[in-house]
């Protein structure tokens, strides 16, 4: 007697794999100058969860309804790959968000702590100097000599203090970054 059960293609595992790939590849969007970057981690998680649902659905269909859906082996293999990709996506996401609380950092309205650090030429630069001559009257850390305020460079090796910038900026944007570029 001819088979009357309708055969259906088991596409769920493929959909799961595809969504998993989109979820992990969405990390590339962080490197593009597009608006709405902050939404990417949320979208990525959502896609990853949906990918897992599809993968498991595909496996369940293949094993519970073998007359309708084929692919016990293929769906299992695809599901394992999808789980691995989703796992990687989750790991990358958790790792990128594992940051210290920084509760004590200066907030708007508070004074920015002073500092004196070496620039790329080895010259010592202080926050006062960066902010301009008006605020460099106070001695920066390390005991800068008064001549620094008049724009005369103190001679001598790596400890020379750079003269204040000529065109004093209205503000300074301090960009702290991870380094190890």
Residues of this chain that bind another protein (CB under 8 A): 27, 30, 37-38, 40-41, 96-100, 102-115, 117-122, 125, 127-128, 130-132, 134-135, 165, 168-181
If the CB atoms of residues 70 and 132 are measured against another protein, the closer one turns out to be 132
Cβ 139 to another protein shortest distance, Å: 14
Quick one: CA dihedral 119, 125, 127, 132, positive or negative?
negative
Q: Kindly state the smallest distance separating residue 52's Cβ from another protein, in Å.
A: 22
Shortest Å distance, C-beta 160 to another protein? 14
- Nearest alpha carbon to residue 134 among 173, 95, 93, 166: 166
- Contacts of residue 52, defined as CB under 8 A and 6 or more positions apart, other chains included, come to 16, 20, 82, 83, 86
- Toward another protein, which CB reaches closer, 112 or 152? 112
Of 22 and 53, CB closest to another protein: 22
H/E stretch holding 24: helix 12-25
- Measured in residues, the chain has a length of 181
In whole angstroms, the minimum distance from the beta carbon of 103 to another protein comes to: 7
Residue the block writes with tokens 């790792």: 95
């Amino acid at each position: 007697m001819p088979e009357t059960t309708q055969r259906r293609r088991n596409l769920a595992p493929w959909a799961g794999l595809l969504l998993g790939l989109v979820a992990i590849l969405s990390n590339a969007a962080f490197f593009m100058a597009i608006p709405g970057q902050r939404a990417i981690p949320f979208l990525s998680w959502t896609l990853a969860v949906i990918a897992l649902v599809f993968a498991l659905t595909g496996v369940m269909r293949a094993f519970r309804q073998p007359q309708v859906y084929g692919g016990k082996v293929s769906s299992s293999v695809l599901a394992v790959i999808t789980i691995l990709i989703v796992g990687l996506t989750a790991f990358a996401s958790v790792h990128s968000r594992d940051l210290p609380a920084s509760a004590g950092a200066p907030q708007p309205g508070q004074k920015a702590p002073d500092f004196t650090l070496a620039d790329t030429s080895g010259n010592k630069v202080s926050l006062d100097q960066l902010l301009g001559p008006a605020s460099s009257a106070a001695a920066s850390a390390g005991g800068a000599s008064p001549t620094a305020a008049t724009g005369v460079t103190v001679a001598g090796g790596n400890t020379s203090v750079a003269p204040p910038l000529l065109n004093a900026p209205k503000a300074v944007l301090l960009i702290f970054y991870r380094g190890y570029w």
